């Protein structure tokens, strides 16, 4: 409870809980001490709590405790994400994005001239501060005209920042802008330079709270020039607690909250948006959905989930199937623009080439949501949210299974990778996650990698063409989806190689056929990528049309299937 940000978080939790007489909020403060936090959690469990909300002091240290609690009751983790997926829901800001947003603001101030930034970072152990710096540096690498000096303010307070900035003396002279990782340090910096020769320097902070000495007030008074809002997620934590305890379906795994750049120019409109209550819907919402195609069992399940949810939410849905053609998919979006849809949803076949058509949608005032796949763009105003899986984590999980179950024998483990559609975000990110874990250990290597385009036929062809050119020397196949793994299995069997035994196979999705193949001993591990995005998507569409702000990303829950749990989960696999 040392930082003002935590006071706002606590207030939000209490105010939201107070609206629900069925909730009793019991609150404890770890005073920055992980040992105390672990004891606090034990004490809360002793009180018989139904659900735990925790902001871990130290995410790594708290991981085992949180994972144990999660075996018995739901756990919502706030703001610092623990390792692994042993919690019910994570809600937090995207600190790297916050750093990026600050970086872009500074770039627009610098407009091509040599520019010097003083960065006031938080304490060395702060995950949030490290991520913000990463985001900032990610922008500055492309702008060699911008130089940064970094100063760490260990306790992140206003007074410490004031003392440090005041002590910089001559080093301040050529500084153009001070970027402080919170508004209170930004205020401290202002106090250090006000009235002196350095008073004209620009100051940017982070948090953007209302109230006395909050970032919004500081902008109004001209103390700071800009703030990047950093939402606490307190209100959402209480709302999701109710959904979780009432077993509402479609609760996501992670909700990443949106941050805004606030300056004098948009301060008033931002404040008005905070006060605005959501309005009732009077008309049926018209949604145009630009879909990938029908390449896989996963896609068919995703299609049904979207259509069913549209009916449940009374949304008038038009789907155009691009049949795996990026050009056709862009045309589909143009059709939706000409039809003046209320909302356009895209599952982008590939992640590039989107900016022109998304700018057309923006000019037409039609909001765009991304479902299941992402796009690669520096512009952060071309779509409102992404709803789907965490593909990097899927890749990591696949390789973690390989590491744990296929030990290097006499020679390094030889892996054949069957990639999905080249240029699609799940392909890029699954590969990146897999390779990140692979890089931790020199005893594993990808010896061959080619695309099977997410189809059964594609998976079969990759194995057949490898067999035509090589004697079989592969220990593990990593297929980016189940359909390609099933195609690979057929090719292996035709060649007299026993899938699952002679070669271990790991894939992604979790279709019924793949789980059945695990039981039959032909597939070894399937990392789930849940296709049931319909309810979350239609809820987001409805919330948007009611005037609510959407999170930056909504990430779905996903599990891992192996021989240990395949029998048990098979009856529940509906696709």
346 binds ligand AHR (CB under 6 A): no
Name the residue nearer to ligand AHR (CB basis): 65 or 329.
329
C-alpha to C-alpha distance for 461 and 9, rounded to whole angstroms: 54
Q: In what order do the strands lie in the sheet with 476-479?
A: 444-451, 413-419, 476-479, 504-509, 525-528, 560-562
Supply 151's token pair.
């100063």
Name the residue nearer to ligand AHR (CB basis): 63 or 291.
291
Q: Cα angle at 137 between 103 and 150, to 5 degrees?
A: 95
Name the residue nearer to ligand AHR (CB basis): 99 or 510.
510
In the complex, what is the shortest distance from the CB of residue 334 to ligand AHR, in angstroms, rounded to a whole number? 22
- How far apart, in Å, are the Cα atoms of 118 and each of 94, 164, 190, 329, 493? 22, 11, 13, 45, 63
* Beta-carbon count within 10 A of 241 CB: 24
Does the CA dihedral 329-331-334-339 come out positive or negative? negative
Name the residue nearer to ligand AHR (CB basis): 481 or 556.
481
- The region of 134-142, 201-209, 291-299, 464-472 touching ligand AHR under the rule CB under 6 A is 291-299
Task: By CB under 6 A, name the one of 254, 291, 296, 536 that touches ligand AHR.
Answer: 296
Name the residue nearer to ligand AHR (CB basis): 101 or 371.
371
Name the residue nearer to ligand AHR (CB basis): 101 or 507.
507
Q: Which residues of 212-234 are buried (b: 16+ CB within 10 A; e: fewer)?
A: eebbbbbbeeebbbbbbbbbbbb
Q: Tell me the three-class secondary structure of 130-197, residue by residue.
A: HHHHHHHHHHHCCCCCEEEEEEECCCCCHHHHHHHHHHCHHHHCCCCEEEECCHHHHHHHHHHHCCCC
Q: What are phi and psi of 91, to 5 degrees?
A: -125, 125
Residue with tokens 């350095």: 198
Contact string 473-512 vs ligand AHR (x = CB under 6 A): --------x--------------------------xx---
Residue 272, Cβ density class (10 Å: 0-12 exposed, 13-18 middle, ≥19 buried): exposed
Name the residue nearer to ligand AHR (CB basis): 136 or 346.
346
DSSP element (H, E) containing 62: helix 59-70
- The region of 211-219, 278-286, 295-303, 305-313 touching ligand AHR under the rule CB under 6 A is 295-303
Task: By CB under 6 A, name the one of 298, 383, 401, 575 that touches ligand AHR.
Answer: 298
Identify the bridge partners of residue 415 per DSSP, sorted by sequence position: 446, 476
In the complex, what is the shortest distance from the CB of residue 485 to ligand AHR, in angstroms, rounded to a whole number? 10
390 binds ligand AHR (CB under 6 A): no
- How far apart, in Å, are the Cα atoms of 5 and each of 80, 88, 99, 129, 156? 13, 24, 17, 14, 11
Site for ligand AHR in 359-378 (CB under 6 A): 372-373
454 binds ligand AHR (CB under 6 A): yes
In the complex, what is the shortest distance from the CB of residue 511 to ligand AHR, in angstroms, rounded to a whole number? 8
What secondary structure does DSSP assign to 184-241, as a single string? HHHHHHHHHHTTSTTTT-EEEEEE---STTSHHHHHHTTS-SEEEE----HHHHHHHH
In the complex, what is the shortest distance from the CB of residue 392 to ligand AHR, in angstroms, rounded to a whole number? 13
In the complex, what is the shortest distance from the CB of residue 271 to ligand AHR, in angstroms, rounded to a whole number? 39
Task: By CB under 6 A, name the one of 426, 452, 499, 551 that touches ligand AHR.
Answer: 426
C-alpha to C-alpha distance for 457 and 55, rounded to whole angstroms: 47
295 binds ligand AHR (CB under 6 A): yes
Name the residue nearer to ligand AHR (CB basis): 100 or 573.
573
Supply 435's token pair.
């390779």
Site for ligand AHR in 517-556 (CB under 6 A): 529
- How far apart, in Å, are the Cα atoms of 259 and each of 256, 335, 376? 10, 31, 19
Name the residue nearer to ligand AHR (CB basis): 286 or 513.
513
Name the residue nearer to ligand AHR (CB basis): 10 or 325.
325
351 binds ligand AHR (CB under 6 A): no
Name the residue nearer to ligand AHR (CB basis): 97 or 296.
296
In the complex, what is the shortest distance from the CB of residue 394 to ligand AHR, in angstroms, rounded to a whole number? 8
- The region of 160-168, 211-219, 293-301, 558-566 touching ligand AHR under the rule CB under 6 A is 293-301
Q: Which residues of this chain interact with ligand AHR, rule CB under 6 A?
A: 295-296, 298-299, 372-373, 426, 454, 481, 508-509, 529
């Amino acid at each position: 409870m040392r930082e003002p940000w935590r006071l706002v978080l606590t207030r939000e939790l209490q105010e939201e809980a107070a609206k629900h007489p069925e909730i009793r909020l019991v609150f404890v403060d770890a005073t920055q001490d992980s040992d105390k936090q672990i004891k606090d959690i034990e004490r809360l469990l002793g009180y018989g709590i139904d659900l735990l909300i925790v902001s871990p002091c130290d995410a790594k240290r708290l991981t085992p405790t949180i994972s144990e609690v999660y075996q018995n009751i739901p756990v919502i983790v706030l703001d610092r994400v623990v390792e692994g997926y042993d919690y019910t829901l994570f809600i937090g800001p995207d600190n790297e994005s916050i750093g990026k947003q600050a970086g872009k603001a500074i770039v627009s101030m610098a407009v091509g001239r040599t520019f010097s930034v003083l960065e006031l970072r938080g304490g060395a152990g702060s995950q949030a501060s490290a991520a913000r710096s990463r985001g900032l540096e990610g922008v500055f690498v492309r702008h060699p005209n911008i130089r940064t000096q970094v100063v760490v303010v260990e306790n992140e307070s206003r007074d410490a920042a004031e003392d440090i900035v005041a002590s910089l003396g001559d080093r301040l002279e050529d500084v153009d802008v001070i970027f402080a990782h919170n508004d209170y340090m930004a205020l401290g910096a202002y106090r250090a330079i006000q009235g002196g020769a350095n008073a004209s320097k620009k100051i940017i902070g982070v948090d953007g709270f209302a109230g006395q000495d909050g970032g919004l007030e500081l902008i109004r008074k001209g103390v700071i020039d800009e703030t990047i809002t950093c939402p606490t997620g307190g209100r959402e934590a209480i709302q999701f607690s109710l959904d979780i305890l009432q077993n509402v379906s479609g609760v996501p795994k992670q909700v990443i909250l949106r941050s805004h750049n606030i300056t004098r120019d948009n301060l008033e409109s931002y404040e008005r948006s905070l006060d605005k209550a959501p309005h009732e819907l009077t008309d049926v919402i018209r949604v145009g959905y630009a879909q990938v195609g029908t390449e896989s069992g996963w896609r068919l399940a995703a299609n049904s989930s979207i259509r069913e949810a549209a009916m449940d939410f009374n949304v008038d849905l038009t789907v155009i199937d691009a049949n795996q053609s990026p050009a056709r998919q862009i045309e589909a979006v143009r059709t939706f623009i000409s039809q003046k849809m209320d909302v356009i949803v895209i599952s982008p076949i590939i992640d590039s080439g989107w900016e022109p058509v998304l700018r057309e949608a923006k000019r037409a005032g039609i909001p765009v949501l991304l479902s299941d796949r992402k796009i690669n763009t520096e512009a952060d105003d071309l779509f409102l949210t992404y709803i789907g899986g965490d593909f990097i984590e899927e890749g990591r999980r696949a390789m973690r299974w390989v590491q744990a179950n296929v030990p290097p024998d006499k020679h390094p483990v030889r892996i054949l990778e069957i990639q999905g559609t080249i240029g699609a975000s799940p392909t890029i990110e699954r590969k990146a996650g897999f390779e990140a874990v692979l890089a931790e250990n020199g005893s594993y290597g990808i010896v061959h990698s080619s695309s099977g385009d997410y189809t059964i036929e594609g998976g079969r062809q990759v194995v057949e063409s490898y067999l035509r050119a090589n004697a079989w020397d592969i220990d593990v196949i990593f297929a980016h989806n189940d359909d390609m793994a099933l195609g690979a299995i057929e090719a292996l069997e035709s060649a007299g190689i026993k899938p699952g035994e002679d070669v271990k196979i790991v894939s992604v999705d979790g279709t019924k056929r793949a789980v059945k193949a695990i039981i039959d001993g032909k597939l070894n591990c399937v990392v789930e990528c849940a296709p049931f995005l319909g309810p979350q998507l239609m809820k987001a569409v409805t919330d948007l049309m009611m005037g609510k702000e959407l999170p930056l990303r909504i990430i779905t829950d996903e599990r891992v299937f192996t021989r240990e749990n395949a029998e048990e989960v098979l009856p529940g696999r509906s696709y």
